[in-house]
Structure 1
C-alpha cells in the first residue's frame, strides 16, 4: 500500500510510516504543498497511492468525476501529531487493505470509520 499525505497533515508521519515499511510521501516532499486537490488526486491515481487528507473536497471531486481510483482516507480527528497519525494509518492500512486496493473512501472519526466504495454515486 502506498500513501500520499496531503498538506495539513504532519510531514513527520510520512517518515515514520516509511520506517514502518509503508511507502508514504507527503505533498511537501514532492513540491505539491500548494497543488490543487485535482492535481493531488491525479498524482495519487498515477502512482497508485491512497490520498490521505483532512479535506472533504476530495470526496466531492471523486463523486463528480465518477472516479474509481485513487482511494482517499479523510481524517476527521483534530490535533493528531505525527506519531499518532502514523499509528492510525498503519492500523487503517492493515484493517482496510482490500477495500482501499479496490477503490474506496474512508472517513475516520475518533471512534468510527465509514467506508464507501468507489465510484461514489451523486444524487440527481
Structure 2
C-alpha cells in the first residue's frame, strides 16, 4: 500500500509507515502545503496513494464518494495537538492496515472503525 500523509498530521507518521515497509510521502513533500482539499485528494489519487488525515471535510461522502479516490483514512483523536494526534494515529494504525482501503473512506475513532 502507498500512503500520503496530510499536512495536519506529523511527519513522523510517514516515517513510521516507511519503517514498516510501506511507501509514504507527505503533502509537504509535494509542495502542496496549504492546498485545497480537492487538490490534495487529486494528487493522492494520481499516485494511487491512500490519504491519511485529520481533516473532517475529507470524510464527507457527498464531496468525496467512495471509489472516486484511492482511499481516505480520517483519524478522529479525542484530544487535539500534534502529540495527541501522533499518539492516536500510531496506536490505531494497526487497526487500519489490515483493512481493504482502496477507494474507501475509513473513519477511525477511539471506539470504532467505520468503513464506507
Which bracket does the TM-score occupy, shorter chain normalised? 0.7 to 0.9
What's the counterpart of residue 86 of structure 2? 81
Larger radius of gyration: 1
* Offset of residue 58 of structure 1: 1.4
* Offset of residue 81 of structure 1: 2.4
Separation in 2, partners of 1:76, 1:113: 10
Separation in 2, partners of 1:67, 1:104: 5
Say if 2:62 is the partner of 1:63.
yes
Point out where structure 1 has 5 or more consecutive residues left out of the alignment.
117-124
Judged with a 3 Å threshold, the aligned counterparts in structure 2 of structure 1 residues 66 and 91 are, in CA distance, closer, same or farther, namely closer
More helix by share: 1
TM-score by length of 1: 0.78
Number of residue pairs aligned between Structure 1 and Structure 2:
110
TM-score by length of 2: 0.82
Point out where structure 2 has 5 or more consecutive residues left out of the alignment.
none
Separation in 1, partners of 2:63, 2:72: 14
Q: CA RMSD in A?
A: 1.9
